[in-house]
Amino acid sequence: MAGKSTNDKSGERIAKVIARAGLASRRTAEAWIAAGRVAVNGAVIASPALNVSSRDRITVDGEPLPGRARTRLFLYHKPRGLLTTHADPQGRDTIFRALPKRLPRLISVGRLDINTEGLLLLTNDGGLARVLELPATGWLRRYRVRALGRVTQEALDGLRKGVTIAGVRYGPIEATLDREQGANVWLTFAIREGKNREVRKVLEQLGLKVNRLIRLSYGPFELGTLDEGAVAEVETAELRKTLGPEIAEQANTDFTGPLDDERNMTRPSGARPKGRKPGIHDRGRRDRGETGVPDSGPRAGARNRNDRKPKRRRRADRSGGPRPKYPRPKS
């Protein structure tokens, strides 16, 4: 006889637990629940308004929920032309289709619109993503901006107290005029809220039309020299130290659990092969200046593992032919 599902107020919402297990986002988990695919203690549930604890047995499509994976964070250099979403009804390219297949299931910390490039944080922990997105966290997000038009530093200084546009209030903004280049200006723009298209809307109010937008940093994490399209993981010890105990507790992170591919889950195609050091993925080569991104940042400056020097060809012998594998017999 199927056991009854509990509603432990001290536990966590069922959709949140499914998301933490790395199977799906909370929204997708709620859709699974509505479709009758989730059971708790043998009883199919129909509503996500249910709290569960570690004592409850959760299954999805009859399969037990895998244990929670270790909290992980990745730095991704998002190229222009990709949507920050798992699926697009119009069939446009998304960042999650472009990511290496060996990575675990990830969600983004906030979004970058299709024409914005630069640093995007990715994590396997929905709780961490939500905390880092909160304006209350107050992490500064720096951008490098190229815009058509002219502006004075005095006008940019006026943004320090915030601005209201079309009834929307934007918080304090730090903006610096770096240089003029033809009909364009280059700016450094720093915000803490990250509202929808905030940089573009604020600069449009000043008569500027943004034609290139690159996010350089998100809080303490920097784009640095990470190559376009490349991914680098923040090591667990560094992540724990950087987040600090307050954010870690608020997000209910887990830095001691197994990695995603150590939980008896099917290894995805192209996953990290055995013997390769975990925690480093496709470090970027040094930017040569053509992107306008400064070559700084402690996290993304290592050489890409895929960019190894080609193997040297066999040294030719004196006759000009290839060097033999074994010594020539004496005549």
Domain assignment of residue 171, yes or no: no
The pLDDT assigned to 177 comes to: 98
Cα 31 to Cα 118: distance, rounded to the nearest angstrom: 32
The pLDDT assigned to 10 comes to: 65
What pLDDT digit, counting tens, does each position of 224-265 carry?
999 999 999 999 999 999 999 999 999 989 998 888 655 443
The pLDDT assigned to 24 comes to: 76
The pLDDT assigned to 262 comes to: 52
What is the three-state SS of the chain? CCCCCCCCCCCEEHHHHHHHCCCCCHHHHHHHHHCCCEEECCEECCCCCCEECCCCCEEECCEECCCCCCCCEEEEEECCCCECCCCCCCCCCEHHHHCCCECCCCEECCCCCCCEEEEEEEECCHHHHHHHHCHHHCCCEEEEEEEECCCCHHHHHHHHHCEEECCEEECCCEEEEEEEECCEEEEEEEECCCCCCHHHHHHHHCCCEEEEEEEEEECCEECCCCCCCCEEEECHHHHHHHHHHHHHHHHCCCCCCCCHHHCCCCCCCCECCCCCCCCCCCCCCCCCCCCCCCCCCCCCCCCCCCCCCCCCCCCECCCCCECCCCCCCCC
Tell me the residue type at 8.
D
Residue 51: give its domain's CATH number.
3.10.290.10
Domain assignment of residue 146, yes or no: no
Q: Which phi and psi angles does 145 have, rounded to 5°?
A: -125, 135
The pLDDT assigned to 303 comes to: 41
Q: Which residues of the chain register pLDDT less than 70? A: 1-10, 22, 260-331
List all residues 6 or more positions away from 176 whose beta carbon is below 8 Å from its beta carbon. Answer: 153, 156, 187, 188
Enclosing domain of residue 35 = 12-64
The pLDDT assigned to 269 comes to: 31
The pLDDT assigned to 182 comes to: 96
**How many Cβ atoms from other residues are within 10 Å of residue 104's Cβ?**
19
Which residues carry out catalysis?
Answer: 113
Domain assignment of residue 147, yes or no: no
Q: How many domains does the chain have?
A: 1
The whole-model pTM stands at 0.70
The pLDDT assigned to 193 comes to: 87
Domain assignment of residue 69, yes or no: no
Domain assignment of residue 26, yes or no: yes
